[in-house]
Structure 1
Amino acid sequence: MKSVFCNIMMIFILFQFWSCATRGAPGGGPVDRIPPEIIFSNPVSDSVNVSGNLDKIAIVFSERMEESSVNRNIFISPYLNLEKEWKGYDELHLLIKDTLLQDQTYVLTIGAGACDEQQNKMEKSQSIAFSTGPELDRGRSGGRVFGLDKTETVSLFVYALADSCFPDPRDKKPLYISQTGLGGRYTLSYIRPGNYRIFAVQDQNNNLLLDALYEKVGIPYSDVRIDTSGSIPEELYFRMSVADTTRPAIIDVKSVSDREVQLRLSEPVILTDTLCALTDSLTGEELKILGLSQNIEKPNIIDLFVNSLKLNNTYSLSVSSLRDSSGNESEFPERRYFKHYVSQDTSKFNLLTMVPKDTILNFRPDGEIFLEFSHPVNWESVDINFKIISKGGKAVTGKWLQSSFYDADFIPENGLTPDTTYNLTLNLGKVLNLWGEAGPDTVLTSQIIIQSSRDLGEMSGIILYSGNSADTVALKCVEVGGRLTSSLRQKVGDPFSFRLLSEGGYRLEGFMDLNNDHRYSYGLLNPFVYAEPFTVLPDTISIRKRWEKAGIELNMPCQTGTILK
């Protein structure tokens, strides 16, 4: 019996020993959520007069690290040939295979994408700087990349500017590198005084180049000057986009009914620029195009509406002036042929959606008023037969903001008045589709009662901007949670006001619409064009009932790229 007991104890002890030797966090207890960090390095950061024959850099982390993530997110500027050698799971030796330059500051950066064994990322990038001379470069910069997912990390590529230099992240590796941390924030440290251009790059394969076919890029709205005074430049913000340099092209053309032709493109285009001509190949007769509309479900498809296509006839479609949002335009008109073999469309024209449909209490002054039809509609006929009348008999004027020929939002010219009841009517029997066919002979009604002004607040302030006073800023006020509450456009320097806001938290942001195209321009890589300057107020604005949050100052950055274009 004693022998059996001893054997059991021996097995238990061996099991415990084997468990302790297994790599990974011990079971039980709270889940580790603490981000790792560097706790020791040799050379120590800020070391000077380091020998040019230095043969290795040692780094010790606070946690057991996931080696591959560290290997992918370690950079040194200027570039050195480094060989990685792990000593256990928390200590990394970087063996230097080059000779160090004289009087040179080297910056080793462990990017925020490095994580421990529990997949906790570093809170921010950490840099270790040392110099082979008596002094370190001390220049700093920083900012934020907006629109990233919580776990997403992008790299910041920094290039020195010179008269003979045109930095392009697609074919030139950066001089300095950092990565975004929590909230998309980044810092750059130990930069030599000079003029620099910074790009935000989604460097998925860690090759220190932008692969523009599948990686996003943030183009700066300004270059950065690092001087010897030690002052920190204004934060530089980025928005990411695909660096599209490809001209849009036609993929396919087909008829989907006797009244509709679909034009499938390689990418979405700006519809107002597109020119189309449809011809019967047999007779040479040109068919009248009643309208063009971006497809609701697939934005790279253009819906083209005509009076009638003849069964089994072949048609020629000529398309020109295809231009995408990056400014790439088709080089010359394209012509495609297709044969119509789809039967006649016999479906009935009707209203699919009306918002609001029924009586609604406490309707927001900026609440959604929306119509969607089964067929492309003549919106002039909708405008004539849709009425919003206050209880006192006053008509509300406004305009329809079309998403397509099928649907649109009604935007009141002067908004809706609090504490007011409105009756909405749509005489559907007089609304016409593009072919002049009316909807069912019925009048639809609904009623909305607008929120009381006692439940609403407002915000106001001024835009500060050192650029051209004639420039236009596009502002938007977004309720925390993502709902766009209101937007406006105005000249800089003028006071702004967002009224009739429900109680809650709001985010205020704006961009300088320098080309007045009513949309944000992300810039171009070649030929290089700066992005439009933008800013986001860092603090949430709290709105209370019957209260004005006044005195808000929104500092708009300038497009100060005069160093090199």
Structure 2
Amino acid sequence: MNTTFRNFLLVFSAVLLFSNCAKKGMPDGGPKDSIPPVIVKSNPENFTTQFTGDEIRIYFDEYIKLKDLQQNLIISPPLKYQPLITPLSTSKVLKIKILDTLKENTTYSINFGKSIVDNNEENEFEYFKYIFSTGTYIDSLNLKGNIKHSLLRKPVEATTIMLYEFDDTFNDSIVFTEKPTYIATTRDSTNTFELTNLKEGKYRLIALNESTNNYTFEPEKDEIGFVAETISIPTDSGYTMKIFKEIPDYKITRPNHISKHKIIFGYEGRIDSLEIDPISNLPEDWETWRFKETGKDTINYLFKPEIDIEVTDT
């Protein structure tokens, strides 16, 4: 056997050996990972008191990522400036950088909802809350209840629950301008809620089905519910709130003459009846027909004979 042929056999044998070894090392599928991430440690530890820092680190036993964080994150009491929370991709460390000035003697809760998942199978580490206090103790009182819709029987969409401290500064317009003292959201389709880590005191309870997550009431967009009486905490009572769409005061907008035989009127609020009275002389054969456009706050006003209106700038 010549040297060239012998070298060829050695190389070929080595390739076969490597191939067989590689096959033995290949995963054979196995059971799917269904275990969510586990916290190894936190710095500072969860439920820390006399918190004075501006950064929190939470270490996990596997790589994690954040999924739909903005839709899940609830910080109570709400902060003026949202903290920077990473990782944006994958890491074993969750870092929270606080950008706001924290209130003295206040217990804060950072609820991640279902946003923390493992990197591979996206197993959810559900409703993890990091809690800390700038005072000497953690507030531990809570308030529970549920949400119903005043008109619909179907489950209510995720609703923001807002608790306002009832003191000398409270007034009925506060829901339009200021964020609440504490916030929570309803869980999935159960329509139940729980506000936690509350301090003793008197409060007013309000629910919002928000179009934007700004924790203030926008009547044109949002649905609202509330408990009429003042609530004293601690309490063993549960509260039911019915949400509804507030009907704004009736207002009609400037008409728009869109063709020779049609004028449209936009309006806001509830309209039960509408009289349209022309202020100029009309022909004897004048006929009109009006109807409300389905799904729109618009009245269509049709007429004949046609009128040709010349529009000029003034």
Aligned pair count? 290
The answer to whether residue 310 in structure 2 is matched with residue 311 in structure 1 is no
Q: What secondary structure, in the 3-state scheme, does the structure 2 residue paired with 1:3 have?
A: helix
Residues 215, 293 of structure 1: CA spacing in aligned structure 2 closer, same or farther, 3 A cutoff?
Answer: closer
The answer to whether residue 217 in structure 2 is matched with residue 218 in structure 1 is no
Residues 99, 115 of structure 1: CA spacing in aligned structure 2 closer, same or farther, 3 A cutoff?
Answer: closer
Residues 264, 204 of structure 1: CA spacing in aligned structure 2 closer, same or farther, 3 A cutoff?
Answer: closer
Superposed displacement of residue 189, structure 1: 1.0
Superposed displacement of residue 3, structure 1: 2.2
Q: In the alignment, which residue of structure 1 is the partner of 2:272?
A: 271
Q: In the alignment, which residue of structure 2 is the partner of 1:236?
A: 240
Equivalents in 1 of 2:182, 2:248: separation in Å? 25
Equivalents in 2 of 1:200, 1:210: separation in Å? 10
The answer to whether residue 297 in structure 2 is matched with residue 300 in structure 1 is yes
Equivalents in 2 of 1:111, 1:155: separation in Å? 15
The answer to whether the Cα contact below 8 Å between 2:146 and 2:240 also exists between their aligned partners in 1 is yes
Residues 251, 205 of structure 1: CA spacing in aligned structure 2 closer, same or farther, 3 A cutoff?
Answer: same
Partner of residue 164 from structure 2, selected from 146, 159, 162: 159
User: Normalising by the residue count of structure 1, what TM-score does the alignment of the two structures yield?
Assistant: 0.40
The answer to whether the Cα contact below 8 Å between 1:67 and 1:89 also exists between their aligned partners in 2 is no
Greater RCO (Cα-Cα under 8 Å, separation 6 or more): 2
Superposed displacement of residue 187, structure 1: 0.8
Q: What secondary structure, in the 3-state scheme, does the structure 2 residue paired with 1:182 have?
A: coil
Superposed displacement of residue 94, structure 1: 2.2
The answer to whether the Cα contact below 8 Å between 2:159 and 2:185 also exists between their aligned partners in 1 is yes
Superposed displacement of residue 240, structure 1: 5.3
Equivalents in 2 of 1:78, 1:310: separation in Å? 59
Unaligned runs of 5+ in 2: 1-11
The answer to whether residue 168 in structure 2 is matched with residue 171 in structure 1 is no
CA RMSD of aligned residues (A): 4.9
Superposed displacement of residue 178, structure 1: 1.4
The answer to whether the Cα contact below 8 Å between 1:146 and 1:240 also exists between their aligned partners in 2 is no
Cα deviation, 1:170-195, whole Å, max 9, x if unaligned, reads 43223222122122322101212233
Residues 121-270 of structure 1 aligned to structure 2 (within 5 Å):
125=127, 127-146=129-148, 152-166=157-171, 168-183=174-189, 184-202=191-209, 206=213, 208-210=214-216, 212=218, 215-227=221-233, 230-239=234-243, 241=245, 247-250=251-254, 252-253=256-257, 263-266=264-267, 269-270=270-271
Q: In the alignment, which residue of structure 2 is the partner of 1:531?
A: none
The answer to whether the Cα contact below 8 Å between 1:112 and 1:179 also exists between their aligned partners in 2 is no
The answer to whether the Cα contact below 8 Å between 1:70 and 1:110 also exists between their aligned partners in 2 is no
Residues 94-493 of structure 1 aligned to structure 2 (within 5 Å):
94-96=96-98, 102=104, 104-112=105-113, 114=115, 116=117, 125=127, 127-146=129-148, 152-166=157-171, 168-183=174-189, 184-202=191-209, 206=213, 208-210=214-216, 212=218, 215-227=221-233, 230-239=234-243, 241=245, 247-250=251-254, 252-253=256-257, 263-266=264-267, 269-272=270-273, 274-278=274-278, 281-283=280-282, 293-295=291-293, 297-302=294-299, 309-313=303-307
The answer to whether the Cα contact below 8 Å between 1:226 and 1:233 also exists between their aligned partners in 2 is no
Q: What secondary structure, in the 3-state scheme, does the structure 2 residue paired with 1:142 have?
A: strand
The answer to whether the Cα contact below 8 Å between 2:38 and 2:60 also exists between their aligned partners in 1 is yes
Paired AA for residue 292 in structure 2: Q
Q: In the alignment, which residue of structure 1 is the partner of 2:3?
A: none
Paired AA for residue 311 in structure 1: P
Paired AA for residue 109 in structure 2: L
Residues 536-555 of structure 1 aligned to structure 2 (within 5 Å):
none
The answer to whether residue 94 in structure 2 is matched with residue 92 in structure 1 is yes
Q: In the alignment, which residue of structure 1 is the partner of 2:6?
A: none
Cα deviation, 1:377-401, whole Å, max 9, x if unaligned, reads xxxxxxxxxxxxxxxxxxxxxxxxx
Cα deviation, 1:258-283, whole Å, max 9, x if unaligned, reads xxx664425574223x222246x454
Equivalents in 1 of 2:117, 2:156: separation in Å? 14
